[in-house]
Structure 1
């Protein structure tokens, strides 16, 4: 039974699923990621924040195998995947979504999700069955036969989560899934992410919607100019002077003070 079909056994001791050690990535003279290290326990939701150009997506691309780092290593469940390509990462249990959703527009929602299912089976019938389970899991089964180009942006983002889940991953890297959504749609995505995590999948989430990120994350790391400048629980990150100066801004501090006084 896949991780999306059963609840997490909370009695099981936490184990490290992801180890990123001393990772650096340069583009010519630009150091996009500078000696970044962190570990992640299985079942955790980790938020990743920082200003535009901080290196967040580049870090994702290194962790997911789209880019090779100049230094450092990435290990998944103890297996060194630093220089493996993205397809090998997927086979090892890592999935990825992208900030800009690019579905196969003329294909149906079900067919789009089946693209992920084919990692697990060569049978179209079985791939369709697996894909439909993922659509049902996130409440998209009613639009399974609708061309992907005809659904809303929020539905496309949930569809992409389903496509990632169809690979039966242990960990998903999610890049700004709430960007461009209305507040009600953001709530739907938060609920979907919580459901995915409660079913046993570890999540690493880049997001600029801070209230949502603070709500869902158990831990947050902060990048600025390629460097990791903070790592802690949301309350700790939200009051960190260096993080406020680099990214959150004084308006965030004032907002939090108003809320605490209310």
Structure 2
């Protein structure tokens, strides 16, 4: 039996838990919660790989299991809150009702433990729930105070800053407008608000120093190419677009299970021994 067989079973069951599966039906600013979750794990891995000589060395300093599991469930409430018609948002819960977030995470972990008849070492379980409750950093009530929590917090902030944006540029909008589609229909087409559409057009007008949308549309019809914003905005849109395509093509679960950190998990360090 592989040294990480139980850890892999735990993670696979977690990925197929109804609350995790439900995250695929919710988005934040045009990006699925599952896509963001994969991104946070990917960024966490990249930070670990950058900070240590190799993953064998990193494994001695960082608890990979806590990071993987903590990332998978760090945004669970984005789904549960909406289903329960809670008045507070995920961000507000992180500030005003962190106990809601903690209890939810603990319940999900306990359900997987029960199915597998395994018990996560208490220190690791506490680290996982701490990762979940502290991942907003100064924008939440609880601040990260473990190495793993700091890694996930930084990854979450990077993903939110660069990869949580509806990847629609003025080029795609103007293509439809040039075909006679009005703004409301364009918004429906891209599953966003007209406010997002107007913002993208405004950015393009600013880059080209044009006064109105009529001039912008004329420019597009003439050139068939248009800047979608400044360099920073363009980077965000292109990277987010690439991320979304990768998750849509390869699948959230597959991408999580392909993360190299999973190869370095050790059951005897993660789970209590029988009889304890």
For normalisation by structure 1, the TM-score amounts to: 0.24
For normalisation by structure 2, the TM-score amounts to: 0.23
Higher alpha-carbon Rg: 2
Q: Which has the larger strand fraction? A: 1
